[in-house]
């Protein structure tokens, strides 16, 4: 499973756009890139997943360049409630099953201030 | 739907004791898994199951047993608790049939302390 590198922490203010970049130089051809969010004392929550180019949902956007060696999670107009730890994960889709083994790093601790 | 539920929320054990952490999901998901999270760290996969009767080891399986007799339940057994097993344990489930394939739904966690 490919290892990921992301900043340990980031600070932002309410209303700003936040971009968290993740490096995954050893990503394999069948690997997908997934981001999870975790609040204190809670389990992680899925944010977004993509394979290449750009994926957008109601919460975030995920930008993946052509070489797929990095990805950027973009959170538009953050609020105080976006303060959390964000994990970038890379993994294949099951190799014959539908289970995706997730390898969590230490994540990026985002602090949003008023 | 209740989603993924875990019991108990908190547990204190003495070294050498055994116990079972319960996990249940009501989403009819095929896949279930157990993770542990140590302070300041990410989650590590302990065991997982791709269906009733089928389990496999993850990254840190030693000291833990699992079984999957039904689709809904996936208990994690600590055979002989050790202080190194002090952690927060999360159960998760997923299915290729969800709107977002492979999205894992996590339970609220069980905080275990072994003294």
B54 forms beta bridges with B51
Q: Which of B4-8, B11-15, B23-27, B42-46 has the lowest mean pLDDT?
A: B42-46
Averaged pLDDT score across all residues of chain B: 92
A43 → closest Cβ in B40, B96, B106:
B106
Give the span between the Cα atoms of B91 and A107, in whole angstroms: 19
Residue indicated by tokens 């130089």: A25
The average pLDDT across A83-91 equals 92
- Cβ pairs A/B, distance under 8 A: 67
Chosen for mutation from A5, A92, A98 (greatest number of chain B CBs closer than 10 Å) is: A98
Give the span between the Cα atoms of A104 and A93, in whole angstroms: 16
| Residue-wise pLDDT tens digits, A17-31 | 999 999 999 888 888
pLDDT of A95 reads 47
| Residue-wise pLDDT tens digits, B81-109 | 999 999 999 999 988 755 455 688 999 99
Torsion angles phi and psi, residue A75, rounded to 5: -110, 110
Cβ separation B58–A104 shorter than 8 A: no
Q: Beta strands of chain A (E only): which ranges?
A: 9-13, 18-23, 31-38, 45-50, 53-56, 61-64, 70-75, 84-92, 108-113
- Own/partner pairs, B55-59, CB within 8 angstroms, 24+ separation: B58/A101, B58/B33, B58/B34, B59/A103
| Residue-wise pLDDT tens digits, A36-67 | 999 998 999 999 989 998 999 999 999 999 99
Q: How far is CA A75 from the centre of its chain?
A: 10
Q: Which of A101-105, B14-18, B79-83, B100-104 has the lowest mean pLDDT?
A: B100-104
pLDDT of B100 reads 53
């Amino acid at each position: 499973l490919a290892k990921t590198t992301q900043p340990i922490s980031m600070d932002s203010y309410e209303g700003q756009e936040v971009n968290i970049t993740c490096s995954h130089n050893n990503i394999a051809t069948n690997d997908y890139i997934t981001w999870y969010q975790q609040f204190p004392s809670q389990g992680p929550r899925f944010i977004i997943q993509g394979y290449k180019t750009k994926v957008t949902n109601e919460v975030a956007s995920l930008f993946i360049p052509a070489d797929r060696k990095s990805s950027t999670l973009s959170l538009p107009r953050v609020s105080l409630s976006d303060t959390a730890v964000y994990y970038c994960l890379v993994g294949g889709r099951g190799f014959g099953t539908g289970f995706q083994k997730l390898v969590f790093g230490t994540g990026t601790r985002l602090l949003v201030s008023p | 739907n209740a989603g993924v539920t875990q019991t108990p929320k908190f547990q204190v054990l003495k070294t050498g004791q055994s116990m079972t952490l319960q996990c249940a999901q009501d989403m009819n998901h095929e896949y279930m898994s157990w993770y542990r999270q140590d302070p300041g760290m990410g989650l590590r996969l302990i065991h997982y199951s791709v269906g009733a009767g089928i389990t496999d080891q993850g990254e840190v399986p030693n000291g833990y047993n699992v079984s999957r007799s039904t689709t809904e339940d996936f208990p994690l057994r600590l055979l002989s608790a050790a202080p190194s097993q002090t952690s927060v344990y999360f159960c998760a489930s997923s299915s290729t049939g969800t709107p977002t394939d492979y999205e894992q739904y996590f339970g609220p966690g069980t905080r275990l302390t072994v003294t």
